Chain A
């Protein structure tokens, strides 16, 4: 009787919750496939994935910090710094490639750790700390390189962007691995549960024996590390490292994460849905480019999409609230 009706309602709501992003992707794919036969080819799909890989890698870490406490705005600047460091250490300081990679990743983790400690020790809002750190890191990138572009000739560093494993681009594989790993961690581990608990209610988390500060610090460290990794991929793809790179990537990362439904208020969101949000951005950019829509329109579409998604989310919540 009632059971059945509420069952369908539940399914419907479940779909509104989880299925709608997928539905948007399917509709977009169908539309662009009809408009351009090239769209759904393996080559084009791979191009699309490569184009979002840098944002995607950083977005995995960003999702986690946002669920637990707040946004990590250092992301874009960190990408620039790590790519410059790796490139410069190899080309100007003759460092062996893996040494340079380790230093770059370590630097990312270190600045992430600094963010985490500032946020937890002094209880400052993450948006403030990471905004400041964004400028600091970007500044270091400029000072370090003297503002010049460094071209990458070292094959291993190039591999991060253009290497192939079983015909699939390394950048895409790295991104997928990041998504798989963090999705597993957030869904299936104790640590993952604690991330959500911290974001949902820090005071209650503390009283449930969860070391909130530790978790937040780890997450920002992780986010710094992943941003640095994204920076290496970025350098690999473009075969160059420049200190002014990735300056709009913060916003792109945030757009993907919010499009995926992670709440700014914490405690809610998922890494998998971030992937869906990311794909939507990728598909729109790629499809519009194929249809020769000027890139200005892509920017507009991305923004409009985010607003539509957030409005949609509000409506969904209002429906839930009355239920």
Chain B
């Protein structure tokens, strides 16, 4: 197969920091090509260069063998290069058809938009994709999976030779993912060449023909998907063998920290009874949408409970707001770091001390900067948070370091129980391993940890006990010795089988 798009010796720096160094990349005509690497490996930068969004410092892009220069995104569109970002670029207030035809609406003879032609055009493209979406609906009213289809339809309208998709399945459930993959394969069979950026290696194995691995801004290599093993790929990504990804040692469980008795949150989440003891990592597994997030929110007082009881350290805990949970000594890491965890325009230290302010203040509420700094130094050292200056905005840190800052926020308030919802979402492998090790250490120190996760290997790797939820109820419980992927999955679909 001939090469359609290739990159040679691409270098790119941002204000002195080299992000890409002599990167080689080759996309063949009619293949699905996976691009993997830890966060910060340079995947997005490389793709933005190919899409004409960033200018390269040195090196060369070739399209069908001949060198090309891209000054801006329009240039790449002329070559038929399209990119769908992880955050979609749909105008939520416009209709599906308006979004698909955006930028080049069909006109009637008065020069205004020919809605009929536009809708017909949109319908035609969606039909080609084998999709049935009402083109008159507003983009905000359709599901995430449908929004993705609309994004693809947008790219299909004009000639599309190369399609780049950044984490296309991040927001999709399993069935939607299967459907998307079918669609991607069909596009390949119709002659498009596709680049898939995804953390999920299983998807890379399922979908791609070849995979290129980037690490630290350099190309590690390109492999045929059929000829590579999962372990080998991970090794290429991290540059070392990660046999000890999950750290989990057995601790003597102590007193019961958290206990719920027949807890009902709303219609969706019912009859939850669970226990977390000191020195334990307890996990809650479930397929997406089984009610884990609501449960996590309720345990932290962020959602009001309808009936039942939450006991903490043997006493009933009535919570009106998260402030009550904070006071009791519970910490909570939410699933969406950016939306409801981080204070984006505050600095690293202010982010750490947000909960524990009282500890650094006198009776009048006047803060001691020295005390605050001491505590901060202690925790960032313990958690190995990597940052430049204390005054640096938290938003400039990598996902892994942001997550560590959020953990430090709670630890600095001496919490006894840490609830973590999707603890390693959007975090590179190195930082993941560090967080697992940290959780183990915290338990050894007598804390209790309650993890909500969608990743089965993670749950099996770090938990002492596992609860499984299905359709808002707990359908099974297993110890780490009993638990297997099959068993957990059996519980996770228990109510769907009947």
The interface of chain A, by Cβ under 8 A from chain B, is: 2, 5-6, 10, 188-191, 193-194, 196-197, 200-201, 203-211, 263, 267-268, 322-323
Contact = CB atoms under 8 A, between A and B. Distances in A.
Contact of B343 (A5, A196, A211): A196
Contacts of B350: 193, 196-197
Nearest to A189: B365
B326 A208 contact: yes
Interface stretch (B106-114, B197-205, B334-342, B439-447): B334-342
Interface centre among B341, B343, B389 (most CB of A within 10 A): B343
Given A190-B357, A193-B367, A322-B15, A209 B343 contact: no
24 contacts: A10-B389, A189-B365, A189-B366, A190-B361, A193-B350, A193-B354, A193-B357, A193-B367, A196-B343, A197-B350, A204-B343, A204-B354, A205-B354, A206-B321, A206-B322, A206-B340, A207-B300, A207-B302, A207-B332, A207-B341, A209-B323, A209-B326, A267-B345, A322-B14
Main secondary structure of the interface of A (DSSP, over half): helix
Give the residue among B327, B334, B354, B366 with the most A Cβ atoms within 10 A: B354
Nearest to B353: A193
Given A201-B342, A322-B15, A208 B355 contact: yes
Contact of B357 (A194, A204, A207, A263): A194
Contacts of B344: 200-201, 267
B214 interface: no
Contacts of B14: 322-323
Contacts of A201: 340, 342-344
Given A190-B358, A190-B367, A322-B14, 10 more contacts: A190-B357, A193-B354, A193-B357, A200-B343, A201-B344, A204-B339, A208-B326, A210-B354, A323-B14, A323-B15
Interface in B321-377: 321-323, 325-327, 332, 334, 339-346, 350, 353-355, 357-358, 361, 364-367, 369
Contacts of A189: 361, 364-367
B346 A197 contact: yes
Nearest to B394: A200
The 3 A-B pairs of least Cβ separation, nearest first, read A209-B326, A203-B340, A200-B343
Contacts of A207: 300, 302, 322, 332, 334, 340-341
**Chain B, interface residues (CB within 8 Å), range:** 35 or more
B365 A197 contact: no
Given A193-B350, A267-B346, A203 B339 contact: yes
B123 to A, nearest CB: 39
Contact of A204 (B325, B342, B366): B342
Contact of A196 (B15, B302, B323, B346): B346
Nearest to A201: B343
B367 A188 contact: yes
Contacts of A267: 343-346
Contacts of B355: 208-209
A2 B300 CA distance: 44
A194 B302 CA distance: 19
Interface centre among A197, A203, A208, A263 (most CB of B within 10 A): A208
Nearest to A10: B389
A211 B15 contact: no
The listed residue with most B CB atoms (<10 A of its CB), out of A193, A194, A205, A207, is A207
Contacts of A6: 388
Interface of B: 14-16, 300, 302, 321-323, 325-327, 332, 334, 339-346, 350, 353-355, 357-358, 361, 364-367, 369, 388-389, 409
Contact of B302 (A191, A193, A206): A206
Output the residue of B323, B326, B339, B388 with the most chain A CB within 10 A: B323
A79 B16 CA distance: 52
A1 to B, nearest CB: 12
Contacts of A322: 14-15
Contacts of A203: 339-340
A188 B366 contact: yes
A190 B345 contact: no
Contacts of B361: 189-190
Contact of B325 (A10, A190, A196, A209): A209
Contacts of B353: 193
A211 B321 contact: yes
A13 B354 CA distance: 26
A208 B409 contact: yes
Nearest to B332: A207
A209 B327 contact: yes
Contacts of B409: 208
Nearest to B300: A207
Contacts of B366: 188-189
A190 B340 contact: no
Contacts of B327: 209
Contact of A209 (B322, B339, B345): B322
Contacts of A204: 339-343, 354
Nearest to A323: B15
A111 B361 CA distance: 31
Contacts of A10: 389
B55 to A, nearest CB: 13
Contacts of B354: 193, 197, 204-205, 208, 210
Nearest to A5: B16
A203 B332 CA distance: 13
A203 to B, nearest CB: 4
Contacts of B367: 188-190, 193
Nearest to B372: A193
Contacts of B334: 207
Contacts of B357: 190, 193-194
A213 to B, nearest CB: 10
A203 B335 CA distance: 13
B372 to A, nearest CB: 9
B347 to A, nearest CB: 10
B333 to A, nearest CB: 9
A262 B127 CA distance: 51
A200 B345 contact: yes
A16 to B, nearest CB: 14
B419 to A, nearest CB: 11
B60 to A, nearest CB: 24
B365 A210 contact: no
Contacts of A188: 366-367, 369
Given A196-B350, A203-B339, A207-B302, A268 B15 contact: no
Contacts of A205: 343, 354
Contacts of A263: 345
A203 B343 CA distance: 10
A189 B361 CA distance: 8
Nearest to B325: A209
A17 to B, nearest CB: 10
Contacts of B341: 204, 207
Contacts of A196: 343, 346, 350
Contacts of A5: 16
B132 to A, nearest CB: 36
Nearest to B330: A209
B365 A191 contact: yes
B134 to A, nearest CB: 32
Nearest to B346: A200
Nearest to B368: A188
A300 to B, nearest CB: 32
A200 B342 CA distance: 9
B102 to A, nearest CB: 26
